[in-house]
Structure 1
Amino acid sequence: MGLTAKDIVQLREQLQVAVVKCSERCLYQSAKWAAELLDSLPTPSPADLLAAKSSPQGPIIHNVFAPNLDPVEAALEAKELSKYLLAKSFFDCKEFDRCAAVFLPESVLAGLLAKGAESASPGGSKGKSTAPAPPEIALPELSQKSLFLALYAKVISGEKRKDEDSEMIMGPQDLGTITNKQLLVVSRFLARWFSERKQENGEFSTNQGFLEYLYGMVLVKEKNDDAALEFLMQSVHLFPWNWGAWLEITNLVSRVEQLNKVAPHLPQNIMSFIFHAHASVNLYQQAQPLAASLNDLLGIFPTSSFLLTCKALLNYHSKDLMGAEQDFSQLLALHPHRLDALDHYSNILYVLNLRPKLAFLAHLCSSIDKFRPESCVVIGNYYSLLSQHEKAVQYFRRALTLDRTCLSAWTLMGHEYVELKNTHAAIESYRRAVDVNRRDYRAWYGLGQTYEVLEMHAYALWYYKKAAGLRPWDGKMWQAVGSCLQKMGQEQDGIKALKRALLADSYYDTSASSFGSVGGIDRMAQMDPEVLLQIANMYDRLGQEEEAKAYMELCMAQEDGGAANAEAGGAGLGDSVAIHGDSPGAGSDGEAEGGERGAGGAEGTGVTVATSKARMWLAKYAMRMEEYETANRLATELCQDGVEVEEAKALIREARSRLELEGVMES
């Protein structure tokens, strides 16, 4: 994506206008986002600035300071300027009710609410005369900017009172049922305002896009997603530079199919391009075009903290934890005082067990702002790494006290309660995380784990399937599904799920679609020996010894990357893989989270508990098949493993005695 110098100058001006317009309406997060994006644009040369102007002669008036092009709105804004400045000063001082009362006194809103309640109620009872309806109260004549500020202040006031009325986090009365009581009046006011401005063709008269955004946000809180999406899409068409509207659309898009359906109806500009990349990262997409899109955007905004965060999260969701750690490290070097998304960075450092870096990050966040939710999550992760789970819970609770919608804090607090063996609190934490964001696969997976601990396998299976649906290429999800099915006695379905785990771990690098036999798996790929052993044991319990034998051999072949025994399914046991004592051991959980699996010929796992168990099973199988030389060799290798040595020695003695007996009989 290449932009000319003139395009960059125009983009710069549009972002400057966006910062001012969002700031005027107290949309501080959207203003900050636009300002950060603006700052990451390369500074244009004076020649480019002059060339971009259509009339360089005379005084240059920046678009930010240009009057409103709509004469009616311009006249209303000029008339209300003094009151607008008063209301905005109240908002900046967090006196939200006073801000709203400047333009919309309580008497006006109460009259509108009472009228709305009457129109919504059913007609009078039969046989009784009803009183004539009172005259409809006219909406106050306000500019869109002032009206937005007043209604937005009412919404924020309701959110503030909602937090004040809520009980202590995870307390006995914390049911999560407290609602924002101001949403009703704001919703009714905006519904009437839009109905009055609706034209015969169904379109609205000229709007600025901010009231559409506010109405969409209110409808989201009222769980009216379809209508909310319609108004939010109108908002981004009218004013595409309000990032808050794009974020609301992102939260409404729950599937890739829905994103692809919405995308053609969005304005075709750079904001739509940024939205599509951000939404794809939020949906855990890992396709190469997404990485290319982010690189194209970084070519235009090379130091954008937002785009660098998206790139780091893309690596994080792709299990490239080392790449994600480097991206976040670069981001922290460029923006050392920015706390946004550092909770994700602390998760990465936790999984990689980089305790010194996590300690530094916790100290940095605490020194910048210890009362930001991100800071509390980072410190909580640090205490969790030190196995101080009570202190970790304390900091996660503090993060939720500051922001009850902090997804990371709910999920991580669930993990801590699992460590503390408090399954009831863990389930409640994960449920609240799912309420905040139903796309959080970690919360669904955590619910599955917790119910599995309680031996409620039907519940666990349902939650594991939800997690696997969100992360279909994550082998860990399918392995959990397979294990749960196994415990429920559904061996065949469990085998299918575990085979899918093998395919998922290789990122679907195989074209095989059959789960019927081991031939459906790419034998040259390195796979998880634990999963292979589990499949083999399930086949063994089903009495399918040939399939069990093939997977046991495949499990053992992972010691050197799977290449040495690529033809194990058709070869005899005498050709089984030899031990490499100098091979590295099995990867830890952190390694399983972090790196991609190598292709055939790569260095294998070395001797692991799983491969030793497979070798023991094969040795016993060889004894049953009267292949005593093979059994003797496999048992000898087991003695070198140092796993199940006594049983291996017993097998060696039995195999040698059988061989000696055969030799005597032949002679």
Structure 2
Amino acid sequence: MGGLSATDQLHLKEALQIAVVKCSERCLYNSAKWAAELLDALPEPPTAPIDPPSTYVHPALSPNTDPEEAALEARELNKYLLAKSLFDCKEYDRCSAIFIQDSYLSGLLSTKPEDVAPSPKGKGKATASEAPTQELLPVMSQKSLFLALYAKVISGEKKRDEDTEMVMGSQDLGSTVNKQLLVVGRFLELWFAERTGDDGEVAGSQGFLEYLYGMVLAKEKNEQAAMDYFVRSVHLFPMNWGCWLEMTNLISRVEHLNQIAGHLPQNIMSFIFHLHTSLELYQQGPNLAHQLEELLNVFPTSAFLLTCKALLAYHSKDLIGAEQDFAHLLSLHQQRLEALDHYSNILYVLELRPKLAFLAHLCNSVDRFRPETCVVVGNYYSLLSQHEKAVQYFRRALTLDRSCLSAWTLMGHEYVELKNTHAAIESYRRAVEVNRRDYRAWYGLGQTYEVLEMHAYALWYYKRAAGIRPWDGKMWMAVGSCLQKVGRNRDGIKALKRALLAESYYDSTSSSFGSVGTMDRMAHMDPEVLLQIANMYDGLDEEEEAKAYMELCIAQEDGGAGAEGGDDLGSSLAIHHDSSLAPGGSDDEGGDRAERNGGNEGTGVTVATSKARMWLAQYAMRTEDYATATRLANELCQDGVEVEEAKALIREARSRMESASLWEG
């Protein structure tokens, strides 16, 4: 993107100011707030600006440049001011009725879109000679029309929430729908049909109605059509952050993001969108970090971008760095609650109870009725092992916002702790309905079904989680273990080798995964995974492969130095390397460990390495290598693991050696 010149900064400043005003006029409060926060993060020029003349009108407050729209807005000003006041007072149906009566909307459902024809010149404006078109849709400005229809959608969302049963109650099936979507979608379908010319362009459109129609289509699960309208909207008015967020919600894969990128306008908003969506897809890497640094050069104090920086560290498994970034963000914006649920997750994993207690108290003092506050407090009680109280707060978060993803997933975790598998499965399912990209919910479903010993189901869900985060070793370890339990040892070995590759991504700066050299440079591999692979080879009666992995497991005690069979492992991993995977697609949510072993530090003696040493000692006995068997058994005695069995092994080895020497004599 590069640095912005003084002129570019001035244009960006004006564009953000216009966005704040236009979004506020249409009651798009979150988009207006986002633009205003970004605007506030723009550094002021070093010299004071010259006072404008008294007749100067700022572009954000200037009238509509379309004369027809400007005339309609002037005529409707009194009604618009009343409608916006009603919207601000949350009287959504009254707001909508100022411009469109309910009886009229009901009648639209019996009208076919083919009844509306575009004007002959493609301009899309109704004329007096087009009597059916003139009578079909009321004539009003796009600003008023958007406000009326948007109020209807919000009214439907409010009624849907009121009709919904208590969270996780006996009648809470998650099937309640917004009944206003059909009629609003119908109106907009007719509006676009009336104004679309032969070239497919909508004459005089401002972009907001495309955004609203895309939102309706997305809620109706017509995602392809919704994406088309969102793309149209950001071309016409790129500063509507809400539209970019809706697009992010429809993108579930990096390939889809790259495909969409070619159809977007090339400006700073698409740059921010790409960064935000990449983080939502759990991406990380130097390219993303470079993009973020360039944006922070333009908006150095932006709370949104500082949050992105913290999340980027989070996705890179740098939990300490992420915690520091969130702490810095909190010191700059003490009253801002957005994304603090992520901060509480990090504090939970790091077991920083005093900081989590302080965060919970702070959020509670700012606004106790925000979903983020309830999630933070729920995490605090979970860290105290008060799981019933944690569930209570997660349910409260969902009562405030049914689409709060963190609350659904974390509540599933709490129900697992409470051994309520049915409720856990339902919580995870609802999380997946909210966001199909939530690998934690897929993984949680796999774990819960594994507890129920329904391994075929567990395997399917684990594979979904691994598909979302292909470079997360924990996902592939779960897949491999599950494959072993269903008797598919060969496939399980492949999955566990992918787990080793995935973990090596964070321990090696090399990008040539799967090569022998890369494997030799691996600082650390999980002894449990190596032992599991060895046991699976043993189950397949491939003792040489099993022996190589047992030796590699023992070698992890001192950081992997001197592992026998290391080259064989590198070659074997290269064979099973999946070229469809790309580095940079994973982070560690911190589910089970806060810090990774680095450098050449070994694990020391573990249960896994002791089991591997015992297997190798028994193997040496079978192959009549009594000296090796004795050495390994002596090491087991020193480790204090399997001591009695090791002593028995030493006695047997000595006896056989003595017998052999007698025969030789």
TM-score normalised according to structure 2 size: 0.90
The yes-or-no answer on 1:105 pairing with 2:107 is no
Superposed, 1:54-203 pairs within 5 Å as 59-116=55-112, 137-203=135-201
The aligned counterpart of 1:420 is 418
> Aligned match of 2:554 in 556, 566, 584?
556
Deviation track 1:60-84 (CA, whole Å, cap 9, x = no partner) reads: 3211121111111111111111111
Superposed, 1:471-550 pairs within 5 Å as 471-507=469-505, 509=510, 511=512, 513=514, 521-522=519-520, 524-550=522-548
Structure 2: runs of 5 or more not aligned = 117-130, 570-587
1:643 Cα offset (Å): 1.5
Deviation track 1:605-655 (CA, whole Å, cap 9, x = no partner) reads: 111111111111111111222222221221111122222111112122222
1:168 Cα offset (Å): 0.7
1:116 Cα offset (Å): 5.0
Cα distance in 1 for partners of 2:567, 2:241 equals 56
* CA distance 1:76–1:512, change in 2 (3 Å): closer
1:593 Cα offset (Å): 3.9
Cα distance in 2 for partners of 1:589, 1:240 equals 32
Cα distance in 1 for partners of 2:22, 2:640 equals 70
Greater relative contact order (CA < 8 Å, ≥ 6 in sequence): 2
The yes-or-no answer on 1:385 pairing with 2:383 is yes
The one-letter code sitting in structure 1 at the alignment partner of 2:358 is: F
> Aligned match of 1:650 in 629, 648, 651?
648
Cα distance in 1 for partners of 2:391, 2:54 equals 63
* CA distance 1:212–1:569, change in 2 (3 Å): closer
The aligned counterpart of 1:3 is 4
Q: Indicate conservation of the 8 Å contact 1:319/1:593, yes or no.
A: no
1:521 Cα offset (Å): 4.6
Q: Indicate conservation of the 8 Å contact 1:550/1:569, yes or no.
A: no
The aligned counterpart of 2:598 is 598
Determine helix, strand or coil for the equivalent of 1:45.
coil
1:286 Cα offset (Å): 1.8
Deviation track 1:415-468 (CA, whole Å, cap 9, x = no partner) reads: 111111111111111110000000100000011111111111111111100000
Deviation track 1:317-371 (CA, whole Å, cap 9, x = no partner) reads: 2222112111111111111111111111111111111111111111111111111
Determine helix, strand or coil for the equivalent of 2:343.
helix
Cα distance in 2 for partners of 1:117, 1:191 equals 7
* CA distance 1:7–1:466, change in 2 (3 Å): same
Q: Indicate conservation of the 8 Å contact 1:320/1:596, yes or no.
A: no
Q: Percent identity?
A: 73
The aligned counterpart of 2:297 is 299
* CA distance 1:117–1:193, change in 2 (3 Å): closer
* CA distance 1:535–1:422, change in 2 (3 Å): same
Q: Indicate conservation of the 8 Å contact 2:315/2:589, yes or no.
A: no
Deviation track 1:262-297 (CA, whole Å, cap 9, x = no partner) reads: 101101000000000111111111232111101111
**RMSD between aligned alpha carbons?**
2.4
Cα distance in 2 for partners of 1:589, 1:15 equals 34
Cα distance in 1 for partners of 2:405, 2:61 equals 39
Deviation track 1:148-188 (CA, whole Å, cap 9, x = no partner) reads: 11100000000000000000111111111111011111001
Determine helix, strand or coil for the equivalent of 1:103.
coil
The aligned counterpart of 2:268 is 270
1:113 Cα offset (Å): 2.8
Superposed, 1:216-615 pairs within 5 Å as 216-507=214-505, 509=510, 511=512, 513=514, 521-522=519-520, 524-565=522-563, 593-596=593-596, 598=598, 602-615=600-613
Q: Indicate conservation of the 8 Å contact 2:501/2:513, yes or no.
A: no
Structure 1: runs of 5 or more not aligned = 121-133, 572-587
1:19 Cα offset (Å): 0.7
1:591 Cα offset (Å): 9.1
**In terms of mean alpha carbon deviation, does 175-184 or 647-656 score higher?**
647-656
1:108 Cα offset (Å): 2.1
Determine helix, strand or coil for the equivalent of 1:598.
coil
* CA distance 1:236–1:512, change in 2 (3 Å): closer
